Amino acid sequence: MKPLEGIIILEFSTMITAALASMMLAEQGARVIKVEPCDAGDPMRYIGARKGDISSLFAGCNRGKESIKLDLKSEAGQEVIRDLTAQIDVVIHNFRPGTMDTLGLGYETLSALNPKLIYMAISGFGTEGPLRRAPAYDPIIQAHSGMAVTQGSDASPAFIRSLLCDKITGYTACQAVTSALFARERSGEGQLIDLSMLDSGLFFMFPDGFQNHALLDDDVIPGGLLIDILYDLTLTKDGGITVAAANQDMQGRMLNAIGLLHLLQDDRFNSMKKLVENLHIFRELVAEKCMEYTSDELLTLLREVEVPCAKCLTRDEVLAQEQLAANDSIETVDHPHLGKMRIVKSPPRFGGQRLAPSRPTPAHGEHTESVLASFGMEPARVEALRKEGALG
């Protein structure tokens, strides 16, 4: 039995954040019903490699769900959701603040119908303030959360080329929903959870990215950022590797392995504090020595003395590495609409066991009739809603 079996979630979303959160909850056993517009559905369906109305991006964020087509702008469509509310546990959406209220599907309305309802409302910037209604995509939040300047610099910011803030927000939403479900077990009451991408991104970045902006007294001694110490490419004869000798003991083992142990007797580097203060000079000396080795030679030397190091793998090399096979991380499945498809399994092991992959990613509106029937809606009403245009 998966941990969230018996939990029913209604998801209203476009793009990543809410979709990823509810997909992870589905992997852990929840029944997730994705409510999509009647016309084209979630626009993520059409971004990147795809077959029909399912892209690989959409599939990666929406497996395990059922899809229904519903016109939420119609009173009849809104009434369907209100009718379902008494039987569900969680609503999750990533619409701008006020949108669900305008549709008659806000927290106050739905919680009055089901006081045990957990209502997760994801926004870009929050429910108050000058940016509350501003559109937000991942690079916008990277810019506002300090992620871009941390990846680059104040003078030359750079974006992380992954939907990192979207995904961080999805993970945060998933964790918050399970916490609220646990609280409900104790109190018997649901609650509203407001979550912004900005807060999620800043919370994620702050411990290491804002080390010199946390302590505010006048006697604080600034120090080098951990990210400046760890993240560096060490060039070799034939390429480069990354080395993360993060403490003095590791630095000693690294220097001994490559014949530079004498540097630790140098007054500039004989303590971790001094080494960090003179990191630029230290790195120049180490870099010059590393150029005497090939990448494989250097990796062998460092691994023998247990200094963390790695070759930066290509995507093909990532998927082919033996460790992923040992972890049982990847599976190839036969998708009814997409054919053969590689998936990464849900990371947590419960009781030492991988969770089995959940149902395939749905086609747009694939489960409209079966979902409504499972909630007790009569076929005659379903047909009337379809004729009215409220159902796809």
Cβ atoms of 311 and 286 closer than 8 Å: no
Distances (CA, A) of 177 to 15, 25, 118: 19, 9, 7
Cβ atoms of 191 and 180 closer than 8 Å: yes
Cα–Cα distance measured from residue 340 to residue 335, given in angstroms and rounded to the nearest whole number? 6
Two tokens at 78? 């809104």
Cα–Cα distance measured from residue 129 to residue 71, given in angstroms and rounded to the nearest whole number? 30
Q: Which CATH class is domain 232-315?
A: alpha beta
pLDDT by residue for the chain (392 residues), tens digit each?
A: 899 999 999 999 999 999 999 999 999 999 999 999 999 899 999 998 999 899 999 999 999 999 999 999 999 999 999 999 999 999 999 999 999 999 999 999 999 999 999 999 999 999 999 999 999 999 999 999 999 999 998 999 999 999 999 999 999 999 999 999 999 999 999 999 999 999 999 999 999 899 888 889 999 887 777 777 677 789 999 999 999 887 778 888 999 999 998 988 889 988 877 877 888 898 899 889 999 999 999 999 999 999 999 999 999 999 999 999 999 999 999 999 889 999 999 999 999 888 887 889 999 999 999 999 999 999 999 999 999 989 98
Two tokens at 303? 């691994």
Which helix (DSSP H) or strand (DSSP E) does residue 9 occupy? strand 8-12
CATH number 3.40.50.10540 is the correct assignment for the domain at 8-206+328-388: yes
List Cβ neighbours of 373 (8 Å cut-off, separation of 6 or more): 379, 382
DSSP single-letter state for residue 96: P
Q: Delimit the domains of the chain by residue range.
A: 8-206+328-388, 232-315
Q: Residue 271: what pLDDT?
A: 81
Q: Residue 233: what pLDDT?
A: 87
